[in-house]
A and B are shown apart, each in its own frame.
Chain A
Amino acid sequence: MASRVIMPKLTDSMEEGVVVKWRKAEGERVESGDVLAEIETDKAVMDLEAFASGTLRKILVPEGTTVPSGTLIGVIGESDEDIRGILAGAQPSAARPSAPRPSPAAVASPEEDKRASPRVRTLAREHGIDLKAVKGSGPGGRIIERDLEPFLTKKEQPTVREVPLSQMRKAIVRMTTQSKAPVPHFYVTIEVEMAEGLRVIEESKKAAPSSPISINHLLIAAAARALRQHQGLNASFAGETIRLFSSIDIGIAVALEDGLIVPVLRDCGSKTLAQIAEAERALVARARGRDLSPEEYTGATFLISNLGKFDVESFIAVILPPAAAALAVGSVREVPVVRDGRVEVGHRMMLTLSCDHRVIDGAVAAQFLQTFKQALERARDL
């Protein structure tokens, strides 16, 4: 009489098993006690022994397949026996006393019969998630995709996005690495009182509301004055020589949506504050409009980068050759300052000068900053 081969329940916690390997082929003679197949449980790979003798007539579950305990995985019978009844029958027989065999009804225990959306069942199958561990938040406790999120591996959502380099970004990469690696940077920081500078700006807003003076204009004018006095900073390292420039050409870093550009304001040393303001406005407007020709954004002898509007206290700028120094400007902050033993409200701004040590030494940089500070603190004289 034909005998069913069932996925056994080999441990208490075993709900399903994998047929790792069939040790007998279809049509092969089998004696009771022979190893029929290797079964992987949740704990180990174990041998499945035949409980009947005869011919392995049918293999129903291919190698590598996972099926619940109690599933019919093969049939042993006489070689000429009609096994269609067994193959068609849904109920496993009770003919195998030594292997306790849960009925299909028992496999589908109430707690496993949780409501889950089709998508959840598919995802659970694909990711090997046990839905018993998942709490459903959908209608009637239905497990929905959202409930699975903590269990899903991240691989579906790429965490990295590759953005091709724009031409501008390529230029920034080239310029900054050509600077930072070979140029020995050092940094000097100073704090400037901006009360008078702010007054100058306020007054200019009243006098000429459409074209007021800005902090940048004051910075450029102060830088021009300080560079006139400390010509060693308006310079460039040229291998065997140090190049001193007679024209003070100041580059202003302008942030654009996808990068930055540094338009150059020429000959600031011979310009008044009003001329600087006018020239800067026109140049920056054209920079924002991406309307500059290459000679308008190359060859600065000194650089100013102002992140003040982003509420930055201080930062350090990268020098872009041929310039030998770059000034990083922070926000004007209201801070308590002690003056003559009394606490007052100060309007302070931090300036950090990055210097190319091949051209500029620390004391020279400090003297330059002192001059710069004095010029700004007497903004009315600019």
Chain B
Amino acid sequence: MAESGWAGEMKATYREALNQALREEMRRDDRVFLIGEDVAYYQGAFKISKGFLEEFGSRRVVDTPITELGFTGLAIGAAMAGLRPVVEVMTFNFAILAMDQIVNNAAKIRYMSGGQLSVPIVIRGPGSAAHQLAAQHSQSLEAWFCHVPGLKVVAPATPHDAKGLIKSAIRDENPVIFIEAQLLYPMQGEIGDGDYTIPLGVAEVKRPGTDVTLIAYSKMLLVALEAAEKLAQEGIQAEVVDPRTLRPLDLTTLAASAKKTGKVVVVEEGWPFAGLGAQIAESLYRQVFDYLDGPIVRVTGRDAPMPYARDLEDAAIPDADQVVAAAHQVLYRT
């Protein structure tokens, strides 16, 4: 992974895209630093910070003890004092330990100080299930963060989006929760060349279609695209829309697609009750009720702790066939 190899490269993995973007941001702005467990000497649990210690030194690439509440609080303080910390949580399951700092400090300091202080921090790491990490380490907790006013939440699905959005997150004046996925890290894709950003709060139509709208983000985007391919073989043209940023939600783009097709499926890996799909559906009902041909259908993870057994785990996570079935349902083709 020679540094010089990055410039001009047009294909990269999600992992490389993040490495590249973080590196470019740290070169661009010396206030940006990375902090978390094993980010320096071990180069990150998932090797996102490969080569960082060598280039930026231990002052800007900071290994911490296993103390999420502590180092997140420390980083929030650093952000209030004018730095731009990027906190790596080994996975978002461990961010639960830091919830008090995230919810009560990162999200509220700007409000409670009357705008005198801001917290330009990025808290990033993988969410959602990988393979057989069991109930405590396979969770999709984006809805927890989306619930909190004062937080922005981003969940990119492609290397291109990951690079452009992490840059916008770092440059944002407010706390951004940036949710990646272990199973996305090795995924390859085209990425933009050099220093580009993708604004927060802007969705993208990943596949145009006319018959049904599939809304999906992060790993589930790939599931939705696979489902769209299957639907195309039946002559159903699905439009796949990726919100990319979950809060603030780009309702304009989602609503335009829903208005066009009149049939909407929302896919998420997380639990169904009070999940993100519930919010997306409610927002769409308010905006485009008169254009819907039937109830919005959600495809979600099962309402249970993630099983360890591989076959049960597979059964608990949405797959393309479930999305196809949901599309049939909104199209009244069951």
Contact = CB atoms under 8 A, between A and B. Distances in A.
A120 interface: yes
A142 B332 CA distance: 11
Contacts of A246: none
B332 A119 contact: no
Contacts of B262: 117, 119, 145
Contacts of B294: 117, 138, 142, 144
Nearest to B263: A145
Contacts of A121: 290
A100 interface: no
B46 interface: no
B332 A122 contact: no
B332 A118 contact: no
Nearest to A120: B293
Interface string B260-300: 00100000000000000000000000000111111000000
Nearest to B295: A117
A146 interface: yes
A146 B291 contact: no
A36 B294 CA distance: 43
Nearest to B289: A118
Interface residues of B, number: 8
A183 to B, nearest CB: 44
Interface string B94-112: 0000000000000000000
Nearest to B285: A118
A348 to B, nearest CB: 40
Interface string A143-185: 0111000000000000000000000000000000000000000
A120 B294 CA distance: 10
A146 B332 contact: yes
Contacts of A142: 294
A372 B62 CA distance: 86
B234 to A, nearest CB: 15
Nearest to B291: A119
Interface string A306-331: 00000000000000000000000000
Contacts of A137: 332
Contacts of A145: 262, 293
B258 to A, nearest CB: 10
A29 B45 CA distance: 85
Contacts of B293: 117-120, 144-145
A144 B331 CA distance: 9
Contacts of B291: 118-119, 122
Interface string A104-122: 0000000000000111111
Nearest to A117: B293
A145 B290 CA distance: 12
B290 A144 contact: no
User: Among B290, B293, B294, which residue has the most Cβ atoms of chain A within 10 A?
Assistant: B293
Contact of B292 (A117, A138, A139): A117
A182 B67 CA distance: 88
A117 B293 CA distance: 5
Contacts of A118: 289-293
User: Among B291, B292, B332, which residue has the most Cβ atoms of chain A within 10 A?
Assistant: B332
A27 to B, nearest CB: 36
A121 B291 CA distance: 9
Nearest to A138: B332
A214 B284 CA distance: 62
A139 B38 CA distance: 55
B265 to A, nearest CB: 15
User: Among B289, B291, B292, B294, which residue has the most Cβ atoms of chain A within 10 A?
Assistant: B294
User: Among A120, A121, A145, which residue has the most Cβ atoms of chain B within 10 A?
Assistant: A145
Interface in B228-271: 262
Contacts of A119: 262, 290-293
Given A117-B293, A144-B294, 7 more contacts: A117-B294, A118-B289, A118-B291, A118-B292, A119-B262, A138-B332, A146-B332
Interface of B: 262, 289-294, 332
16 contacts: A117-B262, A117-B292, A117-B293, A117-B294, A118-B291, A118-B293, A119-B262, A119-B290, A119-B291, A119-B292, A122-B291, A139-B332, A142-B294, A144-B293, A144-B294, A145-B262
Complex A-B, nearest 3 residue pairs according to Cβ-Cβ distance, in ascending order: A119-B293, A119-B262, A145-B293
Interface of A: 117-122, 137-139, 142, 144-146
